[in-house]
């Protein structure tokens, strides 16, 4: 009997303890100041062209390709995009120099902007070039948002002829980083 009485008293005291808690006024106005700033990184473009696909007689030659770039068809992304950055890395193991131009193309295939890259010829040692990051803000960002295709122009500079037995590759890797602001 005595133990149930002590047990009952301890339960009452413990229950009373849980009824008292610390609290403060909640400020729901903080929600108005809430801002998300996510950053996303994704692969942008990649190609690997073997030298024997660039057969020429030693003079300049141009190779061209265009790819759909429908990233900005998403209204949410377009509305909240505050900044974008492109990083490009080109590896050349062909004994010829190149110029690579990335074209930002509009819906009517007009060129909005050309981003040029000079690629040195392979000389037997590692030939991977990481180019400075292209930053898109303000007016340049507005042009980027109009882009629906990416064009790639590869210009082979003058040098020894390339044929079916030529070795090496020209590789381009690129990534895009987008900075959003959601309020």
DSSP string, 92-148: E-SSS-EEEEEEEE-TTS-EEEEEEEEEPPP-SS--EEEPPPEEE-HHHHHHHHT--
Q: What is the pLDDT of residue 20?
A: 65
Instruction: Tell whether the model's pLDDT for residue 133 goes beyond 90.
Output: yes
The pLDDT assigned to 47 comes to 92
Q: What is the pTM of this model?
A: 0.77
- CA dist 117 and 80 (Å) reads 30
Residue 50 binned pLDDT confidence (cut-offs 50, 70, 90): very high
Residue 80: DSSP 8-state: H
Res 148: pLDDT: 93
- Asked whether 155 and 64 are in contact (CB, 8 A), the reply is no
Q: Which residue has the higher pLDDT, 53 or 169?
A: 169
- Max mean pLDDT range (7-16, 158-167, 173-182): 173-182
Indicate the range of 33-37, 81-85, 98-102, 115-119 predicted with least confidence: 33-37
The answer to whether residues 75 and 115 touch, using CB atoms and an 8 Å cutoff, is: no
Residue 64, CA atoms < 13 Å, CB-side half-sphere: 4
pLDDT band at 36 (very low <50, low <70, confident <90, very high): confident
Q: What is the pLDDT of residues 94-123, one digit of tens each?
A: 999 999 999 999 999 999 999 999 999 999
Q: Measured between alpha carbons, how far is residue 32 from residues 29, 37, 80, 82, 183 in Å?
A: 6, 15, 17, 20, 8
Q: What is the dihedral of CA 108, 110, 114, 119, to 10 degrees?
A: 80
Residue 172 is given by DSSP the state E
- pLDDT > 60? residue 1: no
SS3 state of residue 156 = strand
Answer for the pair 81, 178: CB distance below 8 angstroms, yes or no: yes
What residue segments make up the domains of the chain, in order of their start?
Answer: 35-180
- At the topology level of CATH, where does 35-180 sit? Jelly Rolls (2.60.120)
Residue 83 pLDDT exceeds 90: yes
């Amino acid at each position: 009997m005595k133990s149930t009485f002590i047990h009952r008293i301890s339960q009452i005291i413990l229950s009373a303890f849980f009824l008292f808690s610390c609290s403060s006024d909640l400020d729901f106005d903080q929600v108005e100041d809430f801002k998300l700033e996510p950053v996303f990184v994704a692969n942008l473009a990649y190609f690997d062209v073997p030298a024997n696909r660039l057969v020429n007689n030693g003079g300049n030659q141009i190779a061209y390709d265009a790819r759909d770039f429908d990233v900005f068809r998403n209204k949410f992304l377009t509305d909240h995009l505050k900044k974008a950055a492109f990083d490009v890395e080109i590896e050349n193991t062909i004994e010829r120099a190149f110029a690579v131009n990335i074209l930002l193309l509009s819906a009517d295939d007009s060129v909005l902007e050309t981003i040029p890259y000079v690629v040195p010829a392979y000389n037997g040692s590692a030939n991977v070039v990481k180019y400075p990051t292209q930053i898109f803000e303000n007016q340049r960002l507005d042009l980027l948002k109009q882009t629906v295709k990416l064009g790639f122009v590869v210009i082979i500079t003058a040098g020894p002829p390339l044929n079916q037995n030529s070795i090496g590759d020209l590789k381009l890797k690129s990534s895009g980083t987008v900075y959003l602001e959601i309020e």
